[in-house]
Chain A
Amino acid sequence: MKRLLLFLLALATVAVLAACTANEDAGQDPENDVEAEEPESTDGESEEEGTETETNEKVLRLNNGVEPTSLDPSIGFDAVSWDPLNNLMEGLTRLDQDSVAGPGVAEDWDLSEDGLTYTFYLDPVVAEDFVYAWKYMLDPDNASAAAFLAYFIEGGEAFNTGEGSAEDVAVTAVDDKTLEVVLEAPTGFFLDVLTNPAFFPVNHKVAEENPNWHAEADSFVANGPFMLESWDHDSEMVFVKNPEYWDADTVKLDKIHWAMVNDTNTQYQMFETGDLDTASIPPELSDQLIESDNVYIGDYGGLEFYRFNTTMEPFQNKKIRQAFSYALNRADIAEYIVKNGVEPAYGFVSPGFTTPDGRDFRDENGDLVSLDPELAKQLLAEGMEEEGYDELPEVVLSYSTSDVNKAVAETMQSMISDNLGVDVSLENQEWNVFAEAQQNLELQFSRSSFINDYSDPVNFLESFVTDSYMNRTGWSNAEYDELIANGKSETDEEQRYEYLYEAERMLAEEMIATPIRYYNTVVLEADGVEGILRHAVGYFDLKYADKN
């Protein structure tokens, strides 16, 4: 009987092993995989040895989280697409090490007296490729989510809304190496807008032959610091240095591996085993890791804030809105609730925007909101009197379902209760349902976030102009609309910033939305990794990155 039992166990083992081996064959190319694995594991054991044995190849291992939405420049409108793409391609301008728009494909440029016409002098790429790419982006049939960025160009918006035509978009290739762009209005930050991946050139000959050129590594045409060597969808992308790149001497890395690991714990564990060179910090480990030496913390142009719905009671009243804002202790929310080194927000425009005289916009315009329970109570009483309320109408604070949002909302609830004596109730909804409800002005007091698309304060501020799609508060003010219009098109930069300061102060005074905290970038970097550019606004750049 025992013999039989043993036999049975043996049988089971064989069956399991057989199943495993059968799958090994099913894996198609186990040999290649094993080969590919080996340098990784040596690398993992000891990084210095690893780089030496690899014939001095400098390989950086990064995590993109998920598969890029699309590497078609004007279609993949998100960081998971544009972070990699920013290293494969280059537009007319590129953000330099000081996050200022410097020469990219364009060696040089002129701006006409009236601030409307830019003439770019290109080096390697033909001007026609830009004309093709930009008109492709604006073509309503191609449904680019980023197309609004090109509304600065004359005729751009008309073409995108279907009222104009491609011919009327004012971008012309004067010759192979000269590109002329006419703007709707003078735009002081246009060169910065152009660093955005949506404005990358597309080789029109390739694209006309194969509209899906960007979908696979074989057909992908790169003009940036790196080329797309392989792309195993949903698993890995491999970039190699592009020897044809005009500034190839600056590029130090030979290869970049992009994993697609969408689990914070796993990617951190892979960082620990040496399978990744950078990682984000899992929330549970934040307190433990945030102080360590290999943590990079930088600005990230964006704001978490709460919108007041001015079409719903009691927030039609300015003083009641202000009262709620004065009841919030933003420093505590940032330090104890969100953690990860984030900064509390006392204004709308996040730090990192440089004014014409070289200072920071945030410092210049100062703190616009604060914690003041006494003033809060007083404003509430005044507001209630203005509206004739004996009792404040019920207030519901809404957020989209997530652990951090919930923690912040609960803290705000208790702050409002303590500092204002008002009990608000909480409500959370799945993100997409929430977004829809906010858009339709169905929420009273709801969470929002804003990430900058281009590096200018007006990017955030213009959200609140009358009937803007991004407004979502029901607020409308002609004076504010005019400030923003001037803040976009004024040619005297100092005067333009004056308009923007005033607009931001007005937003705080009217208290249409109350800022909570700024976003930031927190990354763990392995020893020897250096030179990765992470701009406050703009995409991740590995042109200057190195690994020793």
Chain B
Amino acid sequence: MLKYISKRFAVMLVTLWIIITLTFILMVSVPGSPFNSDQSSNETIKANLEAHYNLDAPYHIQYFNYLKSVATFDFGPSIKQPNQTVNDLLGRGFPISLELGIVTIVVAVISGIILGIIAALRHNGFIDYMAMGFAVLGISIPNFILATLLIQQLAVNLDILPPATWSSPAHMIMPVLALATGPMAIIARLTRSTMLEVLTQDYIKMARAKGLSPWKIVFKHALRNALMPVVTIMGTLLASILTGTFVIEQIFAIPGMGKYFVESINQRDYPVIMGTTVFYSAFLILMLFLVDIAYGLLDPRIKFHKKGGE
């Protein structure tokens, strides 16, 4: 196991290096500059700005500087918010996105699994159709539409929740609802389909024959196997939701880190692009790693050392 983990970490570092290199190449090959603006300017001003942020240095020097900044976890000041370092921006935004993300994931996973189990157990029944109809709706309505509708109904028309901004638990309800619906629907459908498959397998029949109670069969024997696909999507889901979402954070004026992913690219804010990319990739790689570990816990057949399976 330990050998497996250390090997995985080595691969993770190489992956990260490849991502940084690719990001750098893409970044410098896209036309544009952080200093383009609709406002008046002149050559001197632009040259001063480029010198100030070392963007007049040759590419290999800039690349080396970026590698150094990643290694030391210090990405320097943002170009578009010069009084803030990239670490300030991410350090302030990430906890907020994380807080919203955790609540969203908890709500989505719990309600998704429950919905999936109920639908599978009542296969082709009314409840199944209801649950799956709900799930299809959840997948097909984009979260930004849901968000706007929620604000209009719950804040403007009924006046029971604050419309936007981020200051009290009440402010969290609508963003969580808007964010959780999609993943919940996906999890519900996945759980239902694998559950249906698992329930027809021999070992379940065996368990029934043994006279185990239906709920014990579901939770002890069936669910554990049925969860494998859910766990598979959890890695990417966690990484994308926990690091913030651009649209939902914008609509609800939540000061998370989601906006930096999009805005930094539009504004060519190179240090922020590098910071968000490295942060997100590292986070994603870590989540995928945790998912692999979780496989082993859920399914003892999966072994971590190479020849163990023989």
Contact = CB atoms under 8 A, between A and B. Distances in A.
B200 interface: no
Interface stretch (A320-328, A340-348, A353-361, A426-434): A426-434
Given A16-B110, A72-B83, A141-B52, A436 B35 contact: no
A489 B48 CA distance: 27
B107 A436 contact: no
A236 B164 CA distance: 12
Interface stretch (B1-9, B17-25, B152-160, B302-310): B152-160
Interface in B240-276: 250-253, 255, 259, 266-268
Contacts of B48: 140-141, 143-144, 147, 160
Interface string A445-477: 000011101000001000100001110000000
Interface residues of B, number: 65
Nearest to A147: B45
A262 B99 contact: no
A175 interface: no
Nearest to B30: A433
Given A12-B110, A259-B253, A266 B151 contact: yes
Contact of A453 (B39, B110, B251): B39
A378 to B, nearest CB: 35
A235 B255 contact: yes
Contacts of B221: none
Nearest to B36: A435
B214 interface: yes
Interface string A403-437: 00000000000000000000000000011110111
B163 to A, nearest CB: 5
A26 interface: yes
B105 to A, nearest CB: 9
A215 interface: yes
A140 B50 CA distance: 11
A23 B251 contact: no
B81 A145 contact: no
B58 interface: no
B141 interface: no
Given A19-B102, A23-B172, A77-B39, A269 B107 contact: no
Nearest to B256: A234
A53 interface: no
B72 interface: no
A394 interface: no
Interface in B24-44: 30-33, 35-44
A265 B155 CA distance: 13
A432 B268 contact: yes
Given A69-B80, A78-B39, A160 B255 contact: no
Given A30-B168, A30-B169, A432-B32, A469 B253 contact: no
A37 B83 contact: no
28 contacts: A19-B103, A23-B102, A26-B99, A27-B99, A78-B37, A141-B48, A141-B52, A143-B49, A145-B41, A145-B45, A147-B45, A157-B44, A160-B48, A233-B84, A233-B255, A234-B92, A234-B93, A235-B165, A235-B167, A235-B253, A265-B251, A273-B162, A275-B164, A275-B165, A430-B266, A432-B266, A439-B36, A451-B38
Interface of B: 30-33, 35-46, 48-49, 51-53, 80-84, 88, 92-93, 99, 102-103, 106-107, 110-111, 114, 118, 148, 151-152, 155-156, 159, 162-170, 172, 214-215, 250-253, 255, 259, 266-268
CB-based closest 5 A-B pairs:
A432-B32, A143-B52, A234-B255, A215-B83, A435-B36
